[in-house]
């Protein structure tokens, strides 16, 4: 079983901009890539997961580095980024769009590029597809229960959330840091996540996540020629600091463990649903 899908190379990296590292998640790879793309004219605009009142994730078309930075940080709840792709092209008249998503969203993006029914004249405008590692996601109500009932922090006061060391971490605007054991969050996971077998966003140009790299760094799978050229330009421009993935801990072994864990567990769920005659949406 292939744990990672097709890829050209894997590196560990982080942004060199301290403002990005201060605001973004882990190595700040998505924010750094988007800001570099906008400043270098490789991208006209990007689709990000922004936060609205109550730390509710919502898709946004960003056309400035400031908008990208304001939206930095992982949101562990649904943000339908693909839903604003048509707006990016038609309303904002963007010719080169960057879009980031979870593995399931990346699959949807690749499908609409391959079969652009309903997305004609939009699919060709996608200039860069970035994916983020994802084991599971939460509905907003599920996230609210975790944050308010378990962590004891109001959603309006949330500054940042993170998952690491077997816990769900919540950071408030007032400096409070609370954690919830992941075993207590499982009941709030989206059921559809239990039939997804993609952990590392295998169909992206570039996919990234914190697992496998040291604190403050991110692991990057460079999957396509387009992704390879883009990362090389970032490195040449000095906006990324990189290390060989074999030289860092915990390295690819942990990424492989989690990837295979998701594939094996969720493939069993798919088989069980089919045996029971239940639908298996993709």
Q: Tell me the pLDDT band of 279, cut-offs 50, 70 and 90.
A: confident
Confidence at residue 1, expressed as pLDDT on a 0 to 100 scale: 81
CB 101 within 8 A of CB 78: no
Structure confidence by residue, pLDDT tens digits, 156-191:
999 999 998 899 999 999 999 999 999 999 999 999
Structure confidence by residue, pLDDT tens digits, 214-242:
999 999 999 999 999 999 999 999 999 99
Whether the per-residue pLDDT at 275 is higher than 70: the answer is: yes
With H, G, I as helix, E, B as strand and everything else as coil, classify residue 2.
Answer: coil
Q: Tell me the pLDDT band of 106, cut-offs 50, 70 and 90.
A: very high
d(CA 72, CA 267): 32
Whether the per-residue pLDDT at 122 is higher than 90: the answer is: yes
And the tokens for 96? 């080169």
> What is the rounded radius of gyration, in angstroms, for the C-alpha atoms of the chain?
18
pTM over 0.85, yes/no = yes
And the tokens for 95? 């010719």
Q: Give me the residues paired with residue 160 across strands.
A: 171
Confidence at residue 282, expressed as pLDDT on a 0 to 100 scale: 58
Q: Name which of 203, 197, 229 is nearest 131 in CA terms.
A: 203
Whether the per-residue pLDDT at 49 is higher than 90: the answer is: yes
Helix (H) or strand (E) holding 48: strand 45-52
Confidence at residue 281, expressed as pLDDT on a 0 to 100 scale: 65
Whether the per-residue pLDDT at 118 is higher than 90: the answer is: no
């Amino acid at each position: 079983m292939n744990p990672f899908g097709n890829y050209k190379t894997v590196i560990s990296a982080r942004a060199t901009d301290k403002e990005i590292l201060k605001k973004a998640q882990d190595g700040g790879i998505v924010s750094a890539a988007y800001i570099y793309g906008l400043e270098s004219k490789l991208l006209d605009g990007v689709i990000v997961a922004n936060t609205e009142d109550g730390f509710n994730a919502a898709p946004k078309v960003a056309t400035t580095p400031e908008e990208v930075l304001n939206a930095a940080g992982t949101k562990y709840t649904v943000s339908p980024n693909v839903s604003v792709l048509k707006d990016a092209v038609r309303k904002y008249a963007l010719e080169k769009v960057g879009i980031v998503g979870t593995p399931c969203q990346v699959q949807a993006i690749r499908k609409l590029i391959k079969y652009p029914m309903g997305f004609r004249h939009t699919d060709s405008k996608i200039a860069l597809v970035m994916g983020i590692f994802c084991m599971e996601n939460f509905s907003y109500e599920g996230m609210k229960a975790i944050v308010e009932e378990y962590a004891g922090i109001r959603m309006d006061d949330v500054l940042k959330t993170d998952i690491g060391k077997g816990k769900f971490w919540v950071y408030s605007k007032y400096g409070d840091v609370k954690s919830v054991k992941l075993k207590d969050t499982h009941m709030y996971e989206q059921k559809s996540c239990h039939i997804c077998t993609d952990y590392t966003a295998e169909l992206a140009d570039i996919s990234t996540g914190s697992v496998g790299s040291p604190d403050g760094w991110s692991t990057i799978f460079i999957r396509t020629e387009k992704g390879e050229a883009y990362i090389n330009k970032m490195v040449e421009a000095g906006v990324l600091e990189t290390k060989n993935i074999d030289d860092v801990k915990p390295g690819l072994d942990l990424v492989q463990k989690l990837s295979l864990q998701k594939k094996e567990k969720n493939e069993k769920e798919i088989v069980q649903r089919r045996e029971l005659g239940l639908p298996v949406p993709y």
